[in-house]
Amino acid sequence: MDPNLITSTQAAVDPVFMFIFGACLLLLVGITGAMVWFVIRYHRSRAPQPTSQNDGNVWLEIAWTLLPTLLVLAMFYYGWAGYLALRNVPKGALEVTATARMWSWNFTYANGRSSSKLYVPAGKPVKVNLVATDVLHGFYLPAFRVKRDLVPGMTNYAWFVATKPGSYDLFCSQYCGTGHSAMITTVEALPSAEFTAWLNKEGSGGEHPGKELLEKQGCLGCHSLDGSPKVGPTFKGIWGRSVTVLTGGRERTLTVDEPYLRRSILEPKADLVKGYPPVMPASPLKDEELKSIIDFLKSGGAPSLKRDGAGLEIK
C-alpha cells in the first residue's frame, strides 16, 4: 500500500476489519451450519446406527490445511500493510508531545503552548510523540483506530488526522492504577484558522492562570471542577469547606484555608482526606504558582469559565 494514498488512519484500518470479519463470518457460518445440519440429519432418532466408519481422508486434510493457510496469509498481509500505514507519518505533520502521568494528560506544542486537551487542526496530519513519566500508559483514539503505549524511558509515536472538526475521545488504554479509567480527555479538532488562533494565544487563553496551572500540572486528572467524583476530592466549592483528614493516622476536622491548601499540594501525605486513597504525588511548585492556584481555588473552582476570552471573574 502506498502511504501517500492513505488519507487517514481509519481509512487504512477499516478495510482490514471488513476483510477479516467477513472471512470469519463465512467460516463461522459454514462450520456452525455443517454442525447443526449433521446433528439434525444424523441424530440417533433418525440414524439409529452410524452409516459410515470412515476415519479420515488425506485429500480432505490437505484441502483444509491449504485453504486456511492461504486465507490466513492474506489476512496477515493486509494486516501488515494497514499497520505500515499507521507507522508512516505523512510529511508535514504537526508535531505534538503527549506526556502521560498518573492520571492525566498534557500536550505540548512546538511554541511551548500546553494543554490537557489535544487541540489539532482538522484535515492536517498530527504526529504525537508519546512519553510517560511514571508507569505505562496507553494513547488510544478509538475514532482514528490509533493506539500506542507510553513507556517510561522511551519515546513512542502515533499519527492521525481528524478529517472533520469535532471532539473525539482520548482514552488511557494501558492499565495504570486507581485513576486509569478517569484518565480520559479529548481531541479537539478545530478548523485550521481557529486552531492557529488557539495555538498563538498568549499563555493563558483568557483563562485564570491558576486554572491553566491545574490543567498543566495534571491536577484535573483526579480532581474535578464541576463536583463530579474522581480519584480525589472535587475542587468545586473547596474554599472554606470543612474536611475530615487523617494526620499521622489521627482524624481531625478542619476548614480549607491557604495553609491547608499549600500543605496539601507540597506534601500530600501530611493530611490525607478521609475516604480517598493516598496516591497524590507531591508537586514542587514555585510560590507565585501556588498563589495563583490558591487564588483560583478561592473562587470555588467553579466551572463558570466561558470560552469568551473575558477571563474569570473572581468573586
Q: Residues 229 to 258: which contact another protein by CB under 8 A? A: 229, 231
What spatial distance separates the first Cα and last Cα of the chain, rounded to whole Å? 59
Which of residues 75, 89, 285, 294 is near another protein by CB under 8 A? 75
**How many residues lie near another protein (CB under 8 A)?**
83
Segment holding 158, helix H or strand E: strand 156-160
Nearest Cα residue to 262 out of 231, 246, 276, 283 = 283
From Cu ion, another protein, none, interface partner of 282 (C-beta below 5 to 8 A by class)? none
Are the C-beta atoms of 277 and 233 separated by less than 8 Å?
no
- What is the smallest separation between the CB atom of 58 and another protein, expressed in angstroms? 9
Residue with Cβ nearer another protein (28 or 282): 28
The total of other beta-carbon atoms located within 10 Å of residue 61's CB is 10
Edge to edge, what strands does the sheet with 146-150 contain? 118-121, 185-190, 166-172, 137-141, 146-150
Instruction: State the binding string over 174-213 for Cu ion (x if CB under 5 A, else -).
Output: --x------x------------------------------
Which of residues 101, 115, 130, 137 is near Cu ion by CB under 5 A? 137
Residue with Cβ nearer another protein (110 or 282): 282
Vertex 135 angle, CA 228 and 229, to 5°: 5
Which of residues 8, 118, 145, 209 is near another protein by CB under 8 A? 145
- What is the smallest separation between the CB atom of 159 and another protein, expressed in angstroms? 12
Which of residues 89, 93, 94, 136 is near another protein by CB under 8 A? 136
Residue with Cβ nearer Cu ion (137 or 298): 137
Distance of CA 132 to the CA centre of its chain: 13
Q: Which stretch binds Cu ion (CB under 5 A): 65-73, 167-175, 213-221, 294-302?
A: 167-175
- What is the smallest separation between the CB atom of 241 and another protein, expressed in angstroms? 21
Which of residues 7, 76, 167, 282 is near another protein by CB under 8 A? 76
Contacts of 290 (CB under 8 A, 6+ apart): 262, 265, 266
In angstroms, the Cα distances linking 68 to 30, 62, 64, 152, 191 are: 13, 10, 6, 40, 47
Q: Residues 151 to 180: which contact another protein by CB under 8 A? A: 151-154, 156, 169, 171-180
Distance of CA 186 to the CA centre of its chain: 8
Task: Report DSSP state, residue 227.
Answer: S
Which of residues 48, 112, 259, 309 is near another protein by CB under 8 A? 48
Residue with Cβ nearer another protein (173 or 264): 173
Which of residues 11, 94, 135, 285 is near another protein by CB under 8 A? 135
Instruction: Read off the C-alpha cell for 275.
Output: 475516604
- 97 DSSP β-pair partners: 108, 129
**Rounded CA gap, 50 and 53, in Å?**
7
The answer to the question of residue 172 lying near Cu ion (CB under 5 A) is yes
Contacts of 155 (CB under 8 A, 6+ apart): 129, 130, 131
Q: Residues 205 to 224: which contact another protein by CB under 8 A? A: none
From Cu ion, another protein, none, interface partner of 122 (C-beta below 5 to 8 A by class)? none
Which of residues 60, 91, 253, 315 is near another protein by CB under 8 A? 60
Residues found near Cu ion in the complex (CB under 5 A): 137, 172, 176, 183
